[in-house]
Amino acid sequence: MKRKRALQLQEEWSDKPCPHPAFAKEYDLGKRTGNFVCTQCGSTLTFREKGQLMASRRSPEPSPDE
């Protein structure tokens, strides 16, 4: 998803809560930014933030190793 489109989504979604059900890779000026965009609300998450979100969904308890 292009960054411009993500910003549009953010405006449309406003500040409602979003469970971030699906992500798309973020592109800006034709290049990957390395970030991910929620396809529902347009929020930008870094690779790390997305990873943490996915990990927290897989297991409700935080891992003691991390």
Interface positions with Zn ion (CB under 5 A): 18, 20, 38, 40-41, 43
* Tokens standing for residue 43: 């929020």
- Among residues 19, 25, 17, which one has the least CA distance to residue 45? 25
Query: Taking a C-beta distance cutoff of 8 angstroms, is the pair 53, 62 a contact?
Result: no
Closest CB 7 distance from Zn ion, rounded Å: 14
Nearest to Zn ion of 35, 63 (CB atom): 35
Nearest to Zn ion of 33, 40 (CB atom): 40
Nearest to Zn ion of 33, 43 (CB atom): 43
